[in-house]
Structure 1
């Protein structure tokens, strides 16, 4: 607990005030560089990065964080959530609205008070938590307002992690690896996905972890599902198991994909070998100054040379941090010319489709350093085999 903690027990923000002030100033600098007079942040991950608030009440309507030069950061929030936002954020200027239909009027009132009613305002138009009706409502209240898409602005700042953030990522990956070891040690013929998920969650709790995010956990024929949540489906002899899981720390997520097989499965062997080859090749070229599209192209060349170009139907990786991922953050895909910088963290899941439809692969979670990419994880990416007994 630090100097910004609430008087409410067991609340507060995870980082010191200076860390949030640094982030906010960097975003304000980027806002000015983009030719904008102010920024309204609505994406959950971006708002949490700048305030500490986890966003539990924002399903109701947007909670925009207004950043403008010379003004205190201002959070427009639902009145019902006022004390929760105060308790879990570093923002002291809170402006409430009561009903959803009041959002545009109240938010417009703040912009008008700050002299921004005829200015260029950035909005995260391609992120979650902002509906077209919210934008139309602001435009109706402030017809002189010029709204600019600033979806990628906060993500570009948040991509480079401070040492405090990297510490959180290391704590998160430690819990991911607790779950990975449990996945390998408890997989057995006849065991179900639900049983496995419960075992991994219990292991993380026992190790003192905050949370385990299970993005996917599928056995056998259900490995045809890209993001399959665990069910009572059991694993049988000569079948694969694939999981994508991530430990959490202060909202920072560190995911890994791992594959195992009970018995033998020739196609799984082949696909995972190719996944590892493509991932190793990508890791070898990751360093500051390399464009995201170059890393993606490297992965695709390896897969094309294998004679199975249609096996890869995903992105090569993406920026990580607060929340698992956020629209507007850096993706390692074709056409993205943004360059990698030291301090970025990346999840690189190379997932491949087999001829039978199984989706098999592995991943690494990396931090970009001045010398290249360094894995945050220590557990091997190779196929884990369980005999059928």
Structure 2
């Protein structure tokens, strides 16, 4: 509870420093970060009103109030304003604001609510993301512990992939088994499962298909999901069924492994996100595969699978201890095969801590 109260205080202080009069936070990961419950966004408005200099108010439909029963609103100093169908919830927000001004609205607030709020409260509206991401990028000890828990859970799934990945099965069949294991090994759900076999592995965001996996296939397996605390895992390993059909697999994969390690080695306080990206990209480019590395090196992770900071060219944000993000370079040869290695790392005072400990070598499974 103390941690949540501190987050609310830091959020309002950051809002004041940004020249804002209030934050308006709809259901989602921002709301979960601030009060411990994310809720769901439907056609009925739920909104946490965080005015600068006054106590926050949670505006929530009475029929959805039980979903927030676990939130210690009294201890947090959060007022609750309920409403029923036929009443105007947007007026409740206006009353909680006690006047118009410069207000920041949650980035993912549905337009259905955003436009109605704009009409009712007036004033200037901007996005809340620039304020909240400054808080959410730097994980505290409890958040780091949750990320470690998620990393260990997904490592246990990767350790079992050989139970399901074999010739004669479809990607969809393998993916269903992996999804069940993600839950069995400690996640709340399987947020995503990618099984990209053979030429499908050359598509970084391939999901699952009815392609039958064959002996000699290189297979990219990218999986993750949230644990009970809401924090996510995300880890990729690349497998091969027997001896790879294409002769350049081992040499190419060695380049990828060196690139991933170079990026992890580059992580330390003060190094910029784009410098970490460049460390991986340079190794791949020097080996002649630059055009086949088609995405950023990484993304932040926490209550969302993708959040700040992004490890990408053009991002000159210096790393700080507590920042958590993926390091996941890939090489994708269209129509042939692809490979990716992904760990989640946490910036420390002196370097990087990986929450994933599975080996980085190309995993050979029986054909």
- Paired position in structure 2 for 1:110: 96
Kindly provide the CA deviation profile for residues 250-300 of structure 1, in whole angstroms up to 9, marking residues without a partner as x: 110021011101131445434433322222111111111112122222222
Whether the 8 Å contact between 1:40 and 1:67 is mirrored in structure 2 is yes
- Paired position in structure 2 for 1:120: 102
Alignment of 1:210 with 2:193, yes or no, is: no
Alignment of 1:318 with 2:296, yes or no, is: no
Structure 1: how far apart are the matches of 2:108 and 2:165? 36
Unpaired stretches in structure 2, ≥5 consecutive residues: none
State which of 178, 192, 205 in structure 1 corresponds to 2:156: 178
TM-score, with structure 2 as normaliser: 0.88
- Paired position in structure 1 for 2:216: 238
Residues 331-346 of structure 1 correspond to what in structure 2 (within 5 A)?
Answer: 331-346=310-325
**Secondary structure of 2:329 counterpart:** strand
Q: 1:102 offset after TM fit, Å?
A: 4.4
Residues 1-389 of structure 1 correspond to what in structure 2 (within 5 A)?
Answer: 17-42=1-26, 44-55=28-39, 57-60=40-43, 63-87=46-70, 92-98=78-84, 102-111=88-97, 115=98, 117-124=99-106, 127-131=107-111, 133-143=112-122, 145-249=123-227, 250-263=229-242, 264=244, 265-326=246-307, 329-356=308-335, 358-388=337-367
Q: 1:211 offset after TM fit, Å?
A: 3.2
Query: In structure 2, do the counterparts of structure 1 residues 98 and 353 end up closer, same or farther at CA, with 3 Å as the change threshold?
Result: farther
**Secondary structure of 2:315 counterpart:** coil
Query: In structure 2, do the counterparts of structure 1 residues 108 and 187 end up closer, same or farther at CA, with 3 Å as the change threshold?
Result: same
TM-score, with structure 1 as normaliser: 0.84
The aligned length equals 361
Whether the 8 Å contact between 1:31 and 1:153 is mirrored in structure 2 is yes
Unpaired stretches in structure 1, ≥5 consecutive residues: 1-16
**Secondary structure of 1:252 counterpart:** coil
Q: 1:23 offset after TM fit, Å?
A: 1.6
Q: 1:361 offset after TM fit, Å?
A: 0.9
Structure 2: how far apart are the matches of 1:312 and 1:376? 24
Question: What value does the CA root-mean-square deviation take over the aligned residues?
Answer: 2.6
